[in-house]
Amino acid sequence: MTKYSFVLFHKEVLPFLERVQELGMVDITRENKAVDEHSKEKFSLLERYASAEKALKALSESIPSKSISLTNDLDSLSSEELLQLAERAISDRENLSSDLKLLIRERDDAYQWGAFTKDDIDKITSLGYQMHFYIISESSYNPEWESQYIIHTLSVEGGKRYFVLLVQNNEELHFKYPESKFPANSYNSIDKVIESTKAKIDSTEDLLLALIARIDKIHSGAVAERANLELHLAGVSSVKEAEGTIAVMTGFSPADKRDELHEFFESTGVYFLEEKAKEEDNPPIKLKNNFFTRLFEPIGELYMLPKYGELDLTPYFAPFYMLFFGLCLGDIGYGIVLFTAGTIGRFKLPKMRGYMMLIQFLGIGAMLMPMLNGVFFGAKLQDIIPMPDSIKELFFSDIKMFWFAIIFGLFQIVVARLVNAIDSMIRKGWQHGMHNIGWSILIIWFSIIYAGTMLPDLVIPEYVSYIGYAGLAMIILFSSTEGNILKRVMKGAFSLYDITGIFGDMLSYIRLFGLGTAGGILGLVVNSVAMNMSGIPYVGWFFTGLMLLVGHTAVLLLNSLGAFVHPMRLTFVEFYKNAGFGGGGRAFRPLTKNEN
């Protein structure tokens, strides 16, 4: 990165920043939060845009599409006016939908009391009668009451009798059942309100559909407001000198843009200094990866970016992540499904092309790694495809998959240590990477020695032990590069305690075997249940196919979640720790009018 320091007269700040924004190549140091009332209002407005866009996208899936006539009137509105209209329409729809639910419930409660009007009630009351309403079970109703009271049955529904009992105003009623609440409105009058409410909902949904068709215009308004906010934050973040008449600001840009930017800043007439960015300047980070490792950048960003000057580990963890995902998913068939879904998604969802390509590569990993034990949709390839015994013996058993997961994990730890060693030697000096080379040697040496105890036929040459001792010496002598030789040796001896951490890291990789095996067992259970359904007369084939489809889809979704999360944990904890990753960098955010 190249660091630029600008000194401007206060009246030149805004025009200069507008030109920088047009260029879109310089990250002007600025706050990423509200710093005054204006920025608070802008942040609030952006939140409203984001909320409205999210709601409209959700409604686009729930509101049935239909031809609408209310379209042309909206074209003349600005993005913010469309936003306000969308907010009101979304709120109105929610309120009307809530009212409709209450009305339907009220109508259901009133239906058993029959149709009536307020005039009917008033007429009976004017005749000098009081009305008392009851709901009792049909078995509790006594027909003899009809000779004692003036009773009129309104309806009998679901084993309950709804009736009204009339008594004169000067009489007291002593009835053994509690009186029921009579609805304030008749069901037929509520029906009219329901129809009116439905019509209002339809009209509101027409408006929402018209707004959904203009969601790009609403989004463009959010982009413009974001650009204005960034411009404002860049202006207010500058350091004011000479009683506010001079503004000093800092910016960063990739070093390969230096010539182009130098010419541009010369043309502005602004006084500026350029120099190579240093770590203490806290410059932003812009990762540079090839098409394959760039796909895994979002995964690395879920944790944090490397600090400026720190090695980007994305190219080193990307291949491991792909293969670890395959081990955890543990099924060739599921890998084929993911690869196919990613391929279709690349064409159907061009805006998500990067994510779809990532799914494709994860699918490839899920096709490669399960080939070790031959699991295909929960079944073993060696069981469903006729093949010679010599080929069957090539597939790994469960115990071989267990050891493979551990060895693969140790390999990743060794790679992380070597990456750490080489990077430290380049940036700090050869002594700073020697202890990690020693740890790599020691891990490999321990692994070979352990293999020798488990495999009696394995002959380990004597010089292998000398290599192990050399690794041990490198750890003791170079774990600390400061102080006299005695202090260095003491610190090196204490650093051997890290062997417990490496042992713990190694055990973490057992999850690669566990998740893959669990997924295979679930697939096997789905197959077993489906085959049992095939015995159902006439429709057994249908339920077998349905069970296979639904069951394997559920297992694929469940396993994919675990296969995505656990390799990420191995990356962020085991790999990053052994590679000496510190992190804490901030992303490169050029001042631009377009979306970042």
Listing DSSP states for 79-100 in one string gives HHHHHHHHHHHHHHHHHHHHHH
Number of C-beta neighbours around residue 237 at 10 A: 15
Pair 8, 570: CB distance under 8 Å = no
Cα–Cα distances in angstroms (integers) from residue 272 to residues 3, 23, 248, 268, 495, in the given order = 10, 17, 10, 10, 49
- % the chain with pLDDT above 70: 98
State pLDDT tens for residues 205-230.
888 888 898 899 999 999 998 888 88
| Angle at 156 (CA atoms; ends 152, 157), nearest 5 degrees | 150
State pLDDT tens for residues 372-381.
999 999 899 9
Across 175-203, average pLDDT:
90
β 271-276/239-241 pair status: unpaired
* Amino acid 36: pLDDT: 80
User: Following DSSP, what letter does each residue of 296-328 receive, concatenated?
Assistant: THHHHHTT-BPPTTSPP-HHHHHHHHHHHHHHH
* Amino acid 185: pLDDT: 87
Q: Characterise 244 by phi-psi region: left (phi > 0), alpha (psi -120 to 50), beta (else).
A: left
Cβ-proximal residues to 40 (8 Å cutoff; 6+ apart), any chain: 34
State pLDDT tens for residues 309-363.
899 999 999 999 999 999 999 999 999 999 999 999 999 988 889 999 999 999 9
3-state secondary structure of 241: strand
Across 244-272, average pLDDT:
84
Confidence of residue 67 (pLDDT cuts 50, 70, 90): low
Number of C-beta neighbours around residue 476 at 10 A: 20
For residue 40, which amino acid is it?
K
Cα–Cα distances in angstroms (integers) from residue 281 to residues 1, 174, 284, 529, 587, in the given order = 11, 90, 9, 63, 14
**Beta-carbon-side half-sphere exposure of residue 384 (alpha carbons within 13 Å):** 10
Pair 303, 37: CB distance under 8 Å = no
Pair 391, 348: CB distance under 8 Å = no
Q: Where are the alpha helices (H) located in 302-397, listed in sequence order?
A: 314-329, 332-348, 353-368, 381-384, 389-392
How far is it, in rounded angstroms, from Cα 497 to Cα 65? 66
- Residue with token string 């890290």: 498
How far is it, in rounded angstroms, from Cα 431 to Cα 482? 10
Question: Mean pLDDT highest for which of 51-65, 146-160, 433-447?
Answer: 433-447
Pair 424, 432: CB distance under 8 Å = yes
Mean pLDDT taken over the chain: 89
State pLDDT tens for residues 530-547.
999 888 888 889 999 999
Paired tokens of 399: 């115990």
Of 365, 373, 374, the closest CA to residue 323 belongs to: 365
What pairs with residue 319 in β-bridges? none
State pLDDT tens for residues 128-153.
888 999 999 989 998 888 888 889 99
Q: Virtual CA dihedral for 362, 366, 367, 373, nearest 10 degrees?
A: 160
Instruction: Using CB atoms within 10 Å of the CB of residue 44, give its burial: 0 to 12 exposed, 13 to 18 middle, 19+ buried.
Output: exposed
Lowest mean pLDDT among 261-275, 328-342, 504-518: 261-275
* Amino acid 265: pLDDT: 85
Across 275-281, average pLDDT:
86
pLDDT exceeds 70 at position 66: no
Across 43-50, average pLDDT:
92
Maximum distance among all alpha carbons in the chain? 118
How far is it, in rounded angstroms, from Cα 567 to Cα 214? 41
